Each structure stands twice: as C-alpha cells, then as structure tokens.
Amino acid sequence: MLALALLVGCRQEVAEGEPVSRIEIGKREVAAKPSPTPSPATKSPCRRAMFEGVALTHCVADPARHFIATALGPESGAPYRSFAALAADRADDAPMVAFAMNGGMFGEDGKPIGYYVEDGERLKTLNRAEGGGNFHLKPNGVFFGSGATWRVMATDAFYAEVADRPEFGTQSGPMLVIAGKLHPEFAEEGPSKLIRNGVGVDAAGRAHFVLSEGPVSFGRFARYFRDRLKTPNALYLDGSVSALWDPAAGRHDEGVPLGPLIVVTHKDPDS
C-alpha cells in the first residue's frame, strides 16, 4: 500500500497500526557494500542484541567520535532512494561512513512528509496536521542536532522550544518514549508486528539507532529504548522499509526505495 494512500486513508488501530510506508519486506537482500573497504582498524559501531526474544541491531553514534547528517538526494536532484545511490554521490575525500539508516517517513516520491533539514537548509516545514497512519499517531517527534548535540523531542515541544534551525533534522512518528514513558497509545504487545527502526538519545548525548531483525510490536520495540538503553525520548523512524548500511560489517540492505537517510560518519577514520 502506498505511503500517500495511508496518509489520507482510515486511521489505524490505536494500539499498533500500520506503518506509513509501502510494503512489508519478508526478507532483506544484502548486496556488496558500495564503498571502499574500511581500514582494518575501523570497527563497526553496530552490534546484535536480543530483547524479549527479538533479535535487534543496535548502532551507537558517539558525539566524540562521529558526525550525524541527513541526506535526501544530490543538490537539485531527485531523492537517492538507496544507499548505493548515496555512496555513488559521495566525494572521494568525504568522511568515512560509520553507518547509515533510513530516517523518517516519506511520500510516494521519496520526499519527507514532515520537518526536514539538511546542512542547515530547511526543505520541509514542521508538520503538525492531524491524519491517519503512524506519522500522525500523536505525539510524533523530531530527531535533530547541530555539531555534537543531538536530541529527540515531541513535535509540540520542538515547536514551542526550538528557535534556532538545527544543522540536521527529520520528523517522524510516533514517538516511542516520551520523558521516560512509553507512548500512551501503545499496547503492551499489540497485534501488528513488522521490521522497525528508531532512534533515541541517552543522558550522555549518544544517539542509539535500533533496527529489528524480525517483526516486532511497537510496545516491545519501545521498551527496548526505555528499559535497556535508558533513552528518555525515542522516535520511531519507519517500518517495513527499515534498512541499514554498515560498511565495516559489509552490510548493505536493499529492498523497496527509501526516503530521507541519516548518515553517521567517523571523525577519525581509524575510530
């Protein structure tokens, strides 16, 4: 089902719902990594984890070691829609990619449906509209940052409190964790289970990106951020289309076309 149709269609079950994305991927196709082989000293920031019987991949961006940016497409061009297209467009002297993940919900054209900032340029304004689909399961939120400061905030708080435009930002929804509590509409273990990904920022300022390796409910996925990672706020990025590029591990997920991307790069290529 197309993302656009979900945005204007009937509201999903309150407890879980269907993601604002196109189709469910039954399995991932892993292609050859689209970048030069990392230095042998370079370690992947991603690790496998288990939580309540579900396998997850957990990637950590540390502000002392990494930069974070958003990427949609080449300047004045159409969205990349894949990690391979992103890699092909990167300059030879660009910082080495630590990992990248799809980063927010999008329409049929691959463009974001909510707030989106790249390199300090706002390409899409904050979306506070009501509607159907997971994006509009309020509260939704924004992952954003400048320099070494990264945050996740609910949309209304972001609107009220953030005056300066960040260097990067992407809006998605729903929030998974808000001020240490699970989203109020989540069931403990709802019936909708999909491959999902999200992001939270801990008290030390590290950004935790998590992707499930199998279908998982919203409730269980959110509990991982609250109970295991201790992130006071965490944001759902998407479901079904969830994908990861981890060059050091040789992982390059391919599936349906992607939308906005979050790219984490090394400050030191040997870190």
Residues ≥6 apart with Cβ < 8 Å to 121: none
Single pTM value for the model: 0.86
pLDDT (0 to 100) of residue 19: 35
49 part of a folded domain: yes
Mean pLDDT of the chain, nearest integer? 87
206 part of a folded domain: yes
216 part of a folded domain: yes
DSSP one-letter string for the chain: --HHHHHHSPPPPSSS---SSS---SSPEEPPPSSPPPPTT---SEEEEEETTEEEEEEEE-TTTEEEEEE-SSTTS----SHHHHHHHS-TTSPPEEEEEE-S-B-TTS-BSS-EEETTEEEE-------SSGGGSSS-EEEEEETTEEEEEEHHHHHHH--SPPSEEEEES-EEEETTEE-TT--TT-S--B-EEEEEE-TTS-EEEEEESS-B-HHHHHHIIIIIS--SEEEEEEESS--EEEGGGTEEEE-SPP-SEEEEEESSTT-
Per DSSP bridges, beta strands 141-146 and 168-172 are antiparallel
- Residue 264 pLDDT > 60, yes or no? yes
24 part of a folded domain: no
Per DSSP bridges, beta strands 46-51 and 54-61 are antiparallel
16 part of a folded domain: no
Q: What is the tens place of the pLDDT at every residue in 57-110? A: 999 999 999 999 999 999 878 999 999 999 999 999 999 999 999 999 999 999
34 part of a folded domain: no
Question: Rg (Cα) of the chain, in Å, rounded?
Answer: 17
- Rounded to an integer, the average pLDDT of 134-144 is 95
Sign of the alpha-carbon torsion through 184, 187, 190, 194: positive
- Rounded to an integer, the average pLDDT of 26-32 is 39
70 part of a folded domain: yes
Q: How many domains does the chain have?
A: 1
13 part of a folded domain: no
- Rounded to an integer, the average pLDDT of 151-176 is 98
Question: Domain of 128?
Answer: 3-7+42-266
